[in-house]
Chains A and B, each alone.
Chain A
Amino acid sequence: MLQTTHKAEIDDILSRYPVRRSALLPLLYLAQREQGYITESAMQEIAGILKLTPPQVYETATFYTMLNLKPVGRFHIQVCKSLMCALVGSDTLIGWIGRKLGIKPGETTADKLFTLSAVECLAACGTAPMMQINDDYYERLTEDKLDRILADLRQTGASALKTGPFMWPEPNGTRQ
């Protein structure tokens, strides 16, 4: 139960809005953070907290692409395939990932480590091709960089190649 494990956080979220239902997306995120995806019982519990019916929670949850109603791999790789990225190689990137991990967009590796999705624009068009893995952006990708990122994730669960606070071009003209 989220209410027993995250009481303070839930109260804090609720305190931000004059109307309870506004806390719906934050609470769905909380549920997703806990279990990797949003379970039915979480939706039911959230409905209870917000005094909504479960269908009201469900209709909202299914509208947004970032909310997973089914389990995904530990690393959810989302490659932007919109035009701007496609112009400079996002399809190639998807190809690389597919070859390295043996999965196509929409699939998860057998070890449940990686899920690959091809998604629409993630607002990194100037640093394409790019991908987002869980919370982090990885930009200006090359095959070599991709290898390093995947290796990092496998080994330590994180990679230093992720983007920090974003600015492009960098002020001093340096390029990654």
Chain B
Amino acid sequence: MKFLDEYRDGDLAQKLAAEIHRVTTQPWTIMEVCGGQTHAIVKFGIDELLPKHITLIHGPGCPVCVTPLEVIDQALEIAAQPEVIFTSFGDMLRVPGSTTDLLSVKAKGGDVRIVYSPLDAVKLAAENPLREVVFFGVGFETTAPATAMAVYQAAQKKLTNFSLLISHVLVPPAIEALMSSPNCRVQGFLAAGHVCAVMGYEEYFPLAKKYRVPIVVTGFEPLDILHGILLTVQQLESGRAEVENQYARAVSRAGNQPAQDLIKKVFTVVPRKWRGIGEIPQSGLGLGAAYAAFDAAKKFKLTDHRVEEPAECIAGLILQGLKKPHECPAFGTRCTPEHPFGATMVSSEGACAAYYRYRRHEFTNAK
């Protein structure tokens, strides 16, 4: 496939890796922000091509993983109501809430449906005027334009039986929260290419400056990731801390203007709790005042209750790059994708699931 296969060429990957070896003179710790990148790194064994003293740590960029337990519980509560058609991306169905998951609610007769696009949910609402259609709006800046359009079109169509359970999150505030933590070991970032395709990368200039870290906007294919790492190491070795764009074939500095415009129109920036990490100021999107009628939490009069994570799960530490999945005592034994304790084991973009899928044998043999 064009724009795909050529970025997976093994010989060229070796060449980039050799160049990284050549320019690296000392240990560096680099975080890839996005779960999609984590997945590619583990799948293609990119970390194994790197010099030993380059450490990649996996960031919080898995929207399924960071959706707070409280919100999952709210989803479960809404989905169980008889008049509701609860729609969601497939990844969310097996995320454990405090007692159950959406798939079990569905098995017990809840009308839970997987949709590919939020617009499918709007369509369902138009076709089923006597039912309440709720869409579970999660994700980063990559899915926000789709959710924004769904709400906007529902408003235009004057649908009163459509609403949104929203838990959208934003990447730059999370980077800021990580960098300002005293435990932070990250010296350079690979920023998530597709997030920047929407938002551009203006927001990263002040971050690179304030924390003196190189931030390289990076794509998702093996050559992209290796190239992103090379650019980051070159900056670190020469003492620079700049914003660079490795993924210029899909990302422009200003991003996608029409998408940003609609996000601004429909949403407002709010504080948001991240599962395993805690509340991060100004790190989420909620519905703006003009669209408040589409807020499922208000419509179903849900209360915000606080719940605790299972004690054994160290997903929070993993999401902050402080631990690797195989360091979790439950990894691959009590916690597997079939019986996940934490969301990082559920989502295909979660670090625990990526390690389970591609690295399990190494670690279980080693144990």
Q: A and B bound?
A: no
